[in-house]
Amino acid sequence: MTCDILIRPTESGFAATILGLPDCTTEAATRDEAIQRVKAEAEDLLAKSEIVQAEINGTPARKSFAGMWANDSTFNDFVAAMKAYREDLDADPNQP
């Protein structure tokens, strides 16, 4: 399993956090030590845990918006304007 680790400097060294596992955070004097500690913490967490799937009843909030612009005559214009804006950004090599 490969995961992303956020490394950031602290006053006393480095902090490391496994992205997606916010409880897996540690600090150490060196960058490498922080990485090794957070990996060990994640391995320990995964060894003691399990992942299950469960069906949740209810309608997600985002579904309630589906189709809300179906009768809006300006929606297609909005989508076209957003597409043109995105194409302009993508064409500019100075954009991040």
pLDDT digits (tens, 9 = 90+) for 43-96: 999 899 888 888 888 766 655 555 667 778 888 888 888 888 888 888 877 765
How far is 23 from 42, CA to CA, in rounded Å?
A: 9
Strand partners of residue 32: none
pLDDT at 25: 94
pTM above 0.75, yes or no: no
